[in-house]
């Protein structure tokens, strides 16, 4: 089985990769980093928090192959498409049992005597053999990774978080109908250092009520370098006020080292 070809056959893209700059992709001489995931939801969250993106995936259900063969195929596919890495999982799904028949032939020869010399006659008789089989099947899943563009890193570092509108399930849990929920807090950003966490709900920011993402981005569009961001956070049934600086200046140590410090949350094969 050619794993790289199979990954290409089942490949799904979530966005137009041609719109991303060169810096986002695997560079010459660089090796892709492949991680094994035990929970894609939490691992993809960690990837995003570290200023990386997951633009595509692939996977299939099929008979067992060795994990080393699968990983080597992922690496080959990453090199071919210039992904900086990938996370994968292999999960047993079921075992298929069954029977199949094969046709075989039995050939026999008989010597026939006659006054003028003997001769042979050959008879071929078909017969059927029944065989049983048992095949373990697995889900093979891969999510591919690229870097965020530099401008997007600066923007995300400055504000420190991604938000989304409340859905019906969130409203039931927090018992509020308006606000935006924080999905991601970027590592070592000022929002991170201000102790804002995923699941917090912003109800007001810089004095303006936040009913949805449009309100949030309207306020954000008026904030400049060095200004204060003052969100009011709904957490555990209480409103908390937070303040931190909007800054696009990333300290060198954080940019190069801390942005990758959560890599140990994955396990390498």
Q: Are residues 174 and 258 in the same domain?
A: yes
Do residue 228 and residue 212 come from a single domain?
yes
Last residue of a domain, one of 148, 173, 190: 148
Same domain for 104 and 68, yes or no, is no
**Whether residues 156 and 211 fall in one domain:** yes
Is 194 found in the same domain as 115? no
pLDDT of 111 strictly over 80: no
Of 114, 135, 145, whose CA–CA distance to 50 is shortest?
A: 145
Strand 33-36 to 85-112 pairing: parallel
Percent over 90 (pLDDT), the chain: 66
Query: Are 129 and 78 in the same domain?
Result: no
Least confident of 72-86, 149-163, 230-244, 248-262: 248-262
Tokens describing residue 107? 């050939």
CATH number of the CATH domain containing 232: 2.30.42.10
pLDDT for res 266:
37
248, 127: one domain? no
Residue 142 and residue 32 in one domain: yes
Say if residue 31 is in the same domain as residue 66: yes
Q: What domain range is 71 assigned to?
A: 3-94+137-148
- The number of domains in the chain is 3
> How much is the average pLDDT of 46-69?
94
Does residue 185 share a domain with residue 123? no
Same-domain check for residues 64 and 191: no
The owner of tokens 């046709």 is: 103
- Spell out the residues 6+ positions from residue 210 whose beta carbon is closer than 8 angstroms to its own: 178, 179, 180, 202, 203, 204, 216, 219, 231
Q: Rounded distance, CA 26 to CA 5, Å?
A: 20
* Average pLDDT of span 221-225: 92
pTM attached to this predicted model: 0.74
At which residue do the structure tokens 């080959």 appear? 76
SS3 content of the chain, % helix, strand, coil (to 5): 30, 40, 30
- Return the pLDDT at 252: 52
Give the CA count within 13 Å in the CB-facing half-sphere of 191: 28
Handedness of CA 188, 194, 197, 200 (dihedral sign): negative
pLDDT band at 250 (very low <50, low <70, confident <90, very high): low
Across 229-248, average pLDDT: 92
């Amino acid at each position: 089985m050619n794993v790289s070809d199979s990954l290409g056959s089942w490949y799904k893209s979530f966005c137009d990769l041609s719109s991303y700059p060169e810096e986002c992709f695997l560079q010459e001489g660089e090796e892709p980093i492949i991680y094994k995931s035990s929970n894609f939801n939490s691992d993809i969250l960690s990837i995003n928090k570290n200023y990386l993106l997951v633009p595509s995936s692939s996977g299939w259900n099929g008979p067992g192959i060795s994990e080393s063969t699968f990983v080597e195929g992922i690496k080959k596919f990453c090199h071919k498409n210039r992904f900086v890495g990938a996370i994968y999982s292999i999960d047993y799904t079921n075992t298929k049992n069954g029977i199949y028949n094969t046709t075989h032939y039995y050939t026999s020869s008989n010597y026939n005597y006659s006054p003028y010399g003997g001769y042979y006659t050959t008879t071929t008789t078909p017969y059927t053999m029944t065989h049983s089989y048992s095949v373990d099947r697995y889900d093979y899943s891969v999510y591919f990774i690229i870097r965020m563009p530099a401008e997007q890193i600066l923007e995300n570092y400055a504000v420190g978080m991604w938000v989304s509108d409340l859905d019906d399930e969130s409203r039931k849990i927090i018992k509020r109908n308006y606000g935006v929920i924080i999905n991601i807090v970027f590592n070592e950003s000022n929002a991170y250092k201000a102790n804002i966490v995923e699941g917090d709900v912003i109800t007001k920011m810089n004095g303006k009520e936040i009913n949805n993402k449009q309100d949030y981005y309207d306020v954000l569009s008026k904030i400049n370098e060095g200004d204060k961001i003052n969100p009011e956070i709904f957490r555990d049934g209480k409103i908390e006020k937070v303040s931190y600086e909007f800054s696009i200046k990333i300290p060198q140590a954080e940019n190069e080292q801390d942005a990758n410090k959560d890599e140990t949350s994955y396990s390498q094969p």
